[in-house]
Structure 1
Amino acid sequence: MRGWLRARRPPREIPGALWAGTLAAYPFLAARPAHELQELRSLAARFLADKEFHGADGLVITDAIALAIAAQAVLPVLHLGLDWYDDFVGIVVHPAEVVARRTDTDDDGVVHDYEEVLAGEAMHHGPIMLSWQDVAAAGASADAGYNVVIHEFAHKIDMRDGASDGCPPLPSRAARDAWLATMEAQYQAFREQVIIAERFSGPAPWLDPYGATAIDEFFAVACEAYFVNRERFGKEFAVLVPLFDGFFAPGR
């Protein structure tokens, strides 16, 4: 790591030019209200002081790269606090997508080896991996509701109670049951839309079809769109807007 972040503990104020460049690169951040931008900048500085960035495959982590990730990562916890990310320290950044080798055993006990192309990955109580190519393109991909940083950090929020089930920790069993009932209904409807599009040439869904693979992926994909393209998300998933508002932005 080089430049302003070389000596980053305790938190230091983010230089104005560096912050302005980040907002210019990611219009969905710049569009936040002024009071939220001030808090976002402060929270990003604290995030940078707490986390350790590692470049992979020759990628050098510059101030701009680290801040781009930090500013997007703290958006979901703007009203929740950085404690939601206290189970890990490391963030590994690759220049582009990576190919991961996987092994899976089916219900009949047959072992299958396969490869999976990843733009990001979040490990329970472990580091987060991101593709800088995808992070850098987040300003443009917001139109499609796509954002790899928010996706992976949404997984961290989901996993905080130990389960990847599309439901973050909530204050009561009743609240959890209500959340899961709403999410499950929306997930099944989206899954059906994806199936119709893929098998019967129906209209392609706006949201990333990857969200149809499991309810925890649907939660992460929905969070991406909610934070980077709220207007379109509200049209596509009106039922989820008050649910997410109540959790991510209580009092809105």
Structure 2
Amino acid sequence: MKRWLRSLRPAPVIPDAAWQAVLARYPFLSERPASDVERLRQLSAQFLRDKRFHGAQGFVITDEVALAVATQAVLPVLHLPGDLDWYDDFVGVVVHKSEVVAPRQVMDEAGVVHEYDEVVAGEAMQHGPVMLSWQDVLASSVTQSDGYNVVIHEFAHKIDMRDGLADGCPPLPAGFGGTRGSRAAKAHWNETLSAAYTAFREKTIMAERFGAEAPWLDDYAAESTTEFFAVACEAYFVNRARFGEEFPTLLELFDQFFLGGG
């Protein structure tokens, strides 16, 4: 939806009591400058105006549910040019009570198609809705130290897919990282992210096969650079201090992108 069209409809007013409740439940939202918190409130209201929430299998969308999702969804675009324009390829947000079993198909190198079921807490579809488990959205209120947040994970995928590709590299601004040209910017991003991903994957393998200490970040990040980006975004936004200790090069890279310092 174009920005000028959205502006024709006023954003809802978020009651103070509801706003304070969501800040108290998800402390990583309030652990930032007052100006950011106010901006977060404004964008959350706009998100609630623009998106349509649907409860799956009888789940009821309450004001608490919608506001909890909205505030966490807009956090990654708080300082991005265009803010909510990053999410204009979809309208629907589907919320289930808990995790969902999703059928999958994958073709191996021999061309054989394998079918299996996967338990998912969320899913973001290209040019389609975002699906979330309310159970896991609520869990984000107590998993800050682990760097876990399903809402940020799925909306990070939406940011990644903004250019039509789910490859762990979002569309980058001109001159990102001091580079010249879009190809150089993408190469800089991919080189930095890939190095961190490779090191993380090696730690994960050592932990699984040889009993070494497990890495801090969720091992689902070892699935691919795409998932690594989304999982890293979770940790970056909810536990910046620990993320910086674990991934100093990614902290600098993400700051350049998400904080507009590119």
- TM interval, short-chain normalised: over 0.9
2:98 to 91, 96, 99: 96
TM-score for the superposition, normalised by structure 2: 0.91
* 1:114 to 2:116 alignment: yes
Please state whether the residue corresponding to 1:113 is helix, strand or coil.
strand
Alignment-derived partner of residue 155 in structure 1: 157
CA–CA separation in structure 2 for the residues paired with 1:26 and 1:198? 32
Distance in structure 2 (CA, Å) of the matches to 1:164 and 1:87: 14
Mapped partners of 2:257, 2:113: distance in 1: 40
TM-aligned CA deviation for residue 251 of structure 1: 3.9
- Residues 200-234 of structure 1, C-alpha deviations (whole Å, 9 max, x = no match): 11101110100000000000000000000000000
- The correspondence for 2:226, drawn from 213, 216, 223, is 216
CA distance in 2, matches of 1:31, 1:98: 31
Q: Distance in 2 between matches of 1:154 and 1:194?
A: 22
Distance 2:239 2:57 in 1: 32
- With 49-58 and 169-178 compared, the bigger mean Cα shift is at 169-178
Q: CA deviation at 1:30?
A: 1.5
* Residue 70 (structure 2) pairs with residue 70 (structure 1): yes
CA drift of 1:109 comes to 1.8
Q: Unpaired segments of 5 or more residues in structure 1?
A: 1-8
- Give 3-state SS (helix, strand or coil) of 1:41's partner: helix
Deviations 1:115-171 (A, max 9, x none): 100000000000000000000111111110000000000000000001111100013
The 1-side partners of 2:12 and 2:110 are apart by: 55
Using the size of structure 1 for normalisation, the TM-score is 0.95
Amino acid at match of 2:160: D
Alignment of 1:59 onto 2:69:
no
State the shift of 1:12 in Å.
Answer: 1.6
Residue 174 of structure 1: how far off its partner (Å): 1.1
State how far apart, in whole Å, the 2-side matches of 1:12 and 1:100 are: 34
Letter in 1 for 2:170: P
Measured against aligned partners, the alpha-carbon deviations of 1:159-187 in whole angstroms (never above 9, x if no partner) come to 00011111000132211110000001111
Matched, 1:22 2:22: yes
- Share of identical aligned residues, percent? 66
Where 1:42 maps in the other structure, the secondary structure is helix
Q: CA RMSD in A?
A: 1.0
From 223, 233, 249, the equivalent of 1:239 is 249
CA shift, 1:33, in A, is 1.1
Inter-partner Cα distance in structure 1 for 2:161 and 2:210: 35
Q: Give, as a single letter, the amino acid of the residue that structure 1 aligns with 2:24.
A: A
**What is the alpha-carbon distance in structure 2 between the residues aligned to residue 10 and residue 96 of structure 1?**
32
1:190 corresponding residue in structure 2:
200
Instruction: Give the number of equivalent residue pairs.
Output: 244
- Distance (Å, rounded) in 2 between the aligned partners of 1:153 and 1:40: 15
The 3-state SS of whatever aligns with 2:53 is strand
Secondary structure, in 3 states, of the residue corresponding to 1:57?
A: helix
CA offset at residue 91 of structure 1?
Answer: 0.4
Instruction: Write the letter of the residue equivalent to 1:178.
Output: H
Residue aligning to 2:177: none
- CA deviation string 1:67-115 (max 9, x = no partner): 0000000000001111000000000000000001111111112221111
AA in 2 matched with 1:250: G
Structure 1 moving runs of 4+ over 4 Å: none
Q: Deviations over 1:18-72 (max 9, x none)?
A: 0001001001011121110000000000000000000012110000100000000
Q: What amino acid is the match of 1:156? A: K
Helix, strand or coil at the partner of 2:192: helix
Give matches, 1:117-132, under 5 Å.
117-132=119-134
Query: Hey, what does 1:3 align to over in structure 2?
Result: none
